[in-house]
Amino acid sequence: MNGGATAAERGRQATGPGRTGTADGEASRGEASRGEGAAGTALLTVSHLSGAFRTAHGEETQVLRDVSFEVPSGGITAIVGETGSGKSLTALTVMGLCPPRLSVEGSVRFDGHELLGLDEDGYRRLRGGQIAMVFQDARSSLNPVLTVGRQLGDVARLHHGVNKKAAAAMVAETLARVRIPDPVRRMAQYPHQFSGGMAQRAMIAMALLCRPRMMLLDEPTTGLDVTTQADVMELVVELARQDGLTACLVTHDLGVVGETCDRVVVMRHGTVVEQAAAQDFFRSPKADYSRMLLAANRLDGGTDPVDADDSSEAADAGDAVGADAGDAAGADAVDAGDAGTDTAQADDAGRPS
Ligand SMILES: Nc1ncnc2c1ncn2[C@@H]1O[C@H](COP(=O)(O)OP(=O)(O)O)[C@@H](O)[C@H]1O
Ligand SMILES: [Mg+2]
């Protein structure tokens, strides 16, 4: 469903070169703008967003229907819903990366600025410095022929105008923050030498290096084994909280959502069926579909996320909401292999109980 851009292109576009500045080109980022908007005000507002694919014969397939939701400033919002419900297309539309055959209408406002209709230059200024997106297939978002250190170093240099040495120091520090052991050694390695979980952490590091105001993560853990999934999710939430970032997390892991997110948006069949504070959502979901999701989560072995005190059990529940089983099986093997040779990584994957 990637349309014109490959995952690798999208990855580089979204977290790669770009200048800081607001969506309409003012260079007003930094601590002051980061603090803008008291908690509770929306940083991102999607209103009445509709989208349809047009075939060559002029037929239309409606895939987004009047999608409206808000992502409050400084909080963590989860978007959940079954596969095919329009989560990725919504996220890609926010970044100006939706497939060319998709025609969209409505409004996407970021910090008060309308994004729909921005030209490529406008989106380039937005991507990375304002909103950094992490895609679900980390390995294909990394360039296979460049070392991880070089790719992340390029991002640091372009976003912060620092020299190679300073960029390398920033990269090492950021890789350590995402808990990649022995970051300096790892920087000299190529993506294929990283396990799935570590590649995903490297992509999160790339997003953090841009010092965005908002992180948009589209199923950042799909394709990883269950314990690594929960680790990566918890890491994202922890880092976002530490940096006071606004985060929007597309996920199927209701266990982690219940433990860590502030707000939940539920999508189905291209539309939003419910949005609520996480506590209210888990205690008294309004939509029938939300109740079904929560029931499926429990049936699948998950505990009620609100009452869960064993996070590994809650993490097991994830697949209920549309994980791609094929993907998960493929990447498991990679992670398992790596864990055997890299004890630090294997330890890192151990779940707190
Ligand atoms: N490039 C594409 N061409 C045609 N249909 C697409 C394309 N990308 C997505 N779709 C369709 O749009 C709908 C929403 O897709 P998507 O946003 O990827 O769902 P989700 O991320 O919630 O799984 C699905 O029915 C999907 O089949
Ligand atoms: Mg998707």
Gap between the Cα atoms of 213 and 202, Å rounded: 19
* 114: phi then psi, degrees, rounded to nearest 5: -70, 130
- In this prediction, residue 214 carries a pLDDT of 96
pLDDT of 323 > 50? The answer is no
- E strand map for the chain: 42-54, 60-72, 76-80, 102-110, 113-114, 131-134, 214-218, 246-250, 263-268, 271-277
Q: Which ligand 1 atom is nearest residue 267's CA?
A: 22
The 10s digit of each residue's pLDDT in 114-134 is: 999 999 999 999 999 999 999
Write out the two tokens for 329.
Answer: 């099986």
Measure 221 CA to ligand 2 centroid, in angstroms: 12
- In this prediction, residue 226 carries a pLDDT of 78
- In this prediction, residue 55 carries a pLDDT of 82
- In this prediction, residue 16 carries a pLDDT of 38
pLDDT of 190 > 80? The answer is yes
Q: Which ligand 1 atom is nearest residue 2's CA?
A: 1
The 10s digit of each residue's pLDDT in 198-252 is: 999 999 999 999 999 999 999 888 778 878 878 888 888 889 899 899 999 998 8
Beta bridge partners of 103: 52
Question: Within 13 Å, how many C-alpha atoms sit on residue 194's CB side?
Answer: 32
Residue 43 and residue 249 in contact, taking contact as beta carbons nearer than 8 Å: no
The 10s digit of each residue's pLDDT in 160-176 is: 999 999 999 999 999 99
- In this prediction, residue 210 carries a pLDDT of 93
- In this prediction, residue 289 carries a pLDDT of 95
- The closest residue, in CA terms, to atom 18 on ligand 1 is 88
Specify the pTM: 0.76
- The closest residue, in CA terms, to atom 3 on ligand 1 is 1
Measure 88 CA to ligand 2 centroid, in angstroms: 4
Residue 129's nearest CA partner among 206, 43, 220 is 206
Write out the two tokens for 41.
Answer: 């005000």
Q: What is the mean pLDDT of residues 67-71?
A: 98
Integer-rounded Cα radius of gyration of the chain = 19
Confidence of residue 27 (pLDDT cuts 50, 70, 90): very low
- The closest residue, in CA terms, to atom 13 on ligand 1 is 84
- The closest residue, in CA terms, to atom 9 on ligand 1 is 1
Orientation angle between helical segments 196-209 and 325-341, nearest 10 degrees: 90
Q: What is the mean pLDDT of residues 87-108?
A: 95
Residues framing ligand 1 (Cβ under 6 A): 1, 3, 53, 63, 81, 83-89, 99
Q: Which ligand 1 atom is nearest residue 322's CA?
A: 23
Q: Which ligand 1 atom is nearest residue 219's CA?
A: 21
Measure 234 CA to ligand 1 centroid, in angstroms: 27
Q: Which ligand 1 atom is nearest residue 86's CA?
A: 17
Write out the two tokens for 103.
Answer: 């025609």
Work out the angle at residue 147's Cα, subtended by the Cα atoms of residues 141 and 153, and round it to the nearest 5 degrees.
85
- The closest residue, in CA terms, to atom 1 on ligand 1 is 1
Confidence of residue 319 (pLDDT cuts 50, 70, 90): very low
- Residue that the structure tokens 């990883």 belong to: 224
Work out the angle at residue 26's Cα, subtended by the Cα atoms of residues 237 and 9, and round it to the nearest 5 degrees.
55
- In this prediction, residue 9 carries a pLDDT of 41
- In this prediction, residue 105 carries a pLDDT of 97
- E strand map for 161-224: 214-218
Gap between the Cα atoms of 324 and 22, Å rounded: 35
- The closest residue, in CA terms, to atom 2 on ligand 1 is 1
* SS3 category, 96: coil
The mean of the pLDDT values for the chain is 78
Measure 63 CA to ligand 1 centroid, in angstroms: 7
pLDDT of 305 > 70? The answer is no
- In this prediction, residue 301 carries a pLDDT of 59
pLDDT of 333 > 60? The answer is no
Confidence of residue 144 (pLDDT cuts 50, 70, 90): very high
The 10s digit of each residue's pLDDT in 261-300 is: 999 999 999 999 999 999 999 999 999 999 999 998 876 6
Ligand nearest to the CA of 135: 2
- The closest residue, in CA terms, to atom 14 on ligand 1 is 86
